[in-house]
């Protein structure tokens, strides 16, 4: 480049001929003429081409890469898979040459067309974005898969995380309720992808068939749902970025710690979210924290109504053993309702069985498979007719320890099963705590039988009355004096009668 600039100055500025320039520079006249005629201020050298063993297979490899570019990322072939397929076609070269070609092809933009985006600005209280992420944690000594709900305000960038065992309607409703309560209000719009818990069918353009239960949630909190286009996650890029950041920052510690239960993990996540608000600067205003921008945005949020009753109701039939089935698990109900059809209200962590308008049973939700959750009090009326079931009845294995000890002692006696059934019949009438106190007193006192328990329970429920002392306003003027003569006379009369 230095020589070209020198030749151009000598010829165009100083007016020297090509012969004179060649004499002074030592270059051939043909070279000087070619450089001067090109009109370029810097030399252009031809691209050096090096033959490679991959050259005969370039077109085949490019066609495979173009085909994979139209597939979802999870279905695309890896470089090792493409290398193995090239070897099957006769490729004799190395794996590094294939990976270098794939890397160059992607840098040229051969896999995707990188579009430009318009920066967005959301006014306070206008919108929030919601998304799910898949994480893993050690809960109760086992490594389990969790679905984490992320809700983030588009203006202040305040976020809230809640972990659940799965993605379902009741989990979605509970996540919104918890997030709105933590953020102090409800924005006017919610931006989602086309998740199945909210969208039943995706139509053309922005047309969506929204799930009826999700529409009830939106109607309760008065926000309008908006859904992204298909495969357009950048339309809710704020929460997508939040998923990546929380996975790298917050979830690293959560994944290495051991949690006794899911509730303790969610309590820790709530505390970490609030701590992050106070420590993290706002991305568009580095001098202000997220907590300060949230305080400015809260007056613009809609007021928070009563919590949405976010359950999913399904009809269930009560079996002959007073059990209802849900997700490969069984839950007991009072045996009086056997062979009936009831409604099961599914909450994130609780199941409620309703018959008509009355709640007949409640159970903590079990997320394992092939489990039976009993409430032994549901079978008290059944053992009044079939007291022999007390000996091997599965629900009665979960009775409190004093009742189990009493059962073991009574079943050794004649008609002990009937006596135990009579004791259990008092639980609905007097309450479990009173019956347990009576049973413990009987076990400590000595001889154990059913009548003794019932007697102690009756005395506890109806204690002996103490006659109150009535104060009298009258007082004796003279205290009574002992009459010994009268006493001796009575003794003489007694002897006379005996004689």
Rg of the chain over all Cα atoms, to the nearest angstrom: 43
With pLDDT > 70 as the criterion, what percentage of the chain qualifies? Answer: 94
Residues 375-397, mean pLDDT to the nearest whole number = 91
Residue with tokens 């579009």: 115
Residues 261-276, mean pLDDT to the nearest whole number = 94
CATH of range 127-300; options 3.30.2350.10, 3.40.50.300, 3.90.380.10, 3.30.420.10: 3.30.420.10
Average pLDDT, the chain: 88
Residues 406-417, mean pLDDT to the nearest whole number = 89
Q: Is 418 a residue whose pLDDT tops 70?
A: yes
Q: Using alpha carbons only, give the angle 390, 396, 401 rounded to the nearest 5 degrees.
A: 115
Residues 320-333, mean pLDDT to the nearest whole number = 94
Please give the pLDDT value at position 372.
94
Residues 345-372, mean pLDDT to the nearest whole number = 93
State the CB neighbour count (10 A cutoff) for residue 237: 14
Angstrom distance (rounded) from CA 145 to CA 135: 6
Residues 131-151, mean pLDDT to the nearest whole number = 93
Please give the pLDDT value at position 99.
93
* Domain layout of the chain by residue ranges: 2-38, 55-107, 127-300, 312-373, 379-461
Please give the pLDDT value at position 399.
92
Please give the pLDDT value at position 108.
80
Range among 204-208, 246-250, 263-267 with highest mean pLDDT value: 263-267
With pLDDT > 90 as the criterion, what percentage of the chain qualifies? Answer: 55
Q: Given pLDDT bands bounded at 50, 70 and 90, which one contains residue 265? A: very high
Q: Using alpha carbons only, give the angle 86, 88, 91 rounded to the nearest 5 degrees.
A: 50
Q: Given pLDDT bands bounded at 50, 70 and 90, which one contains residue 331? A: very high
Please give the pLDDT value at position 4.
81
Q: Is 498 a residue whose pLDDT tops 60?
A: no
Please give the pLDDT value at position 497.
55
Residues 328-345, mean pLDDT to the nearest whole number = 94
Please give the pLDDT value at position 383.
92
Q: Given pLDDT bands bounded at 50, 70 and 90, which one contains residue 350? A: very high
Residues 267-292, mean pLDDT to the nearest whole number = 93
Please give the pLDDT value at position 84.
93
Per-residue pLDDT of 426-480, as tens digits, reads: 999 889 999 999 899 888 887 788 888 888 888 887 766 555 665 666 677 777 7
Q: Given pLDDT bands bounded at 50, 70 and 90, which one contains residue 70? A: confident
Residues 130-152, mean pLDDT to the nearest whole number = 93
Q: Is 305 a residue whose pLDDT tops 60?
A: yes
Q: Using alpha carbons only, give the angle 488, 491, 495 rounded to the nearest 5 degrees.
A: 140
Angstrom distance (rounded) from CA 106 to CA 5: 37
Q: Is 185 a residue whose pLDDT tops 90?
A: yes
More confident site: 180 or 12: 180
């Amino acid at each position: 480049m230095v020589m070209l600039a020198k030749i151009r100055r000598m010829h165009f500025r100083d007016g020297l001929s090509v012969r004179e320039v060649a004499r002074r520079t030592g270059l051939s006249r043909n070279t000087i003429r070619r450089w001067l005629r090109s009109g370029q201020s810097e030399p252009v050298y031809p691209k050096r081409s090096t033959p490679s063993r991959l050259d005969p297979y370039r077109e085949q490899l490019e066609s495979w890469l173009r085909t994979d570019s139209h597939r979802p990322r999870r279905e695309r072939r890896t470089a090792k898979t493409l290398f193995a397929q090239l070897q099957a076609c006769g490729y004799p070269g190395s794996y590094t040459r294939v990976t270098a070609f794939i890397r160059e092809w992607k840098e040229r933009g051969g896999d995707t067309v990188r579009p430009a985006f318009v920066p967005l600005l959301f006014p306070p209280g206008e919108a929030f974005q919601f998304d799910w992420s898949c994480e893993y944690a050690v809960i109760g000594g086992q490594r389990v898969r969790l679905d984490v709900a992320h809700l983030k305000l588009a203006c202040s960038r305040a976020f809230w995380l809640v972990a659940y065992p799965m993605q379902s309607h009741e989990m979605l409703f509970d996540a919104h309720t918890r997030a709105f309560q933590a953020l102090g209000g409800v924005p006017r719009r919610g931006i989602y992808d086309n998740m199945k818990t909210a969208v039943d069918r995706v139509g053309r353009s922005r047309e969506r068939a929204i799930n009826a239960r999700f529409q009830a949630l939106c109607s309760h909190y008065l926000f309008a749902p908006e859904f992204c286009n298909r495969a357009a996650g950048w339309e809710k890029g704020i929460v997508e970025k939040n998923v990546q950041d929380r996975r790298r920052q917050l979830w690293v510690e959560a994944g290495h710690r051991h949690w006794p239960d899911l509730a303790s993990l969610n309590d820790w996540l709530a505390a970490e979210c609030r701590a992050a608000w106070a420590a993290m600067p706002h991305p568009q205003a580095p001098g202000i924290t997220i907590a300060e921008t949230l305080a400015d945005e809260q007056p613009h949020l809609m007021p928070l109504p009563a919590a949405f009753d976010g359950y999913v109701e399904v009809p269930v039939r009560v079996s002959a053993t007073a059990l209802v089935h849900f997700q490969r698990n069984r839950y007991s109900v009072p045996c009086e309702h056997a062979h009936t059809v009831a409604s099961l209200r599914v909450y994130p962590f609780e199941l409620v069985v309703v018959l008509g308008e009355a709640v007949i049973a409640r159970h903590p939700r079990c997320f394992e498979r092939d489990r039976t959750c009993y409430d032994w009090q549901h079978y008290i009326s059944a053992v009044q007719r079939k007291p022999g079931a007390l000996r091997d009845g599965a629900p009665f294995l979960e009775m409190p320890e004093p009742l189990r000890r009493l059962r073991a002692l009574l079943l050794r006696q004649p008609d002990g099963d009937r006596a135990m059934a009579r004791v259990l019949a008092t639980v609905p009438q007097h309450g479990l705590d009173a019956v347990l106190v009576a049973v413990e007193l009987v076990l400590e006192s000595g001889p154990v039988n059913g009548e003794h328990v019932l007697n102690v329970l009756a005395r506890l429920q109806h204690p002996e009355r103490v006659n109150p002392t009535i104060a009298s306003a009258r007082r004796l003027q003279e205290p009574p004096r002992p009459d010994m003569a009268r006493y001796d006379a009575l003794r003489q009369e007694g002897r006379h009668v005996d004689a």
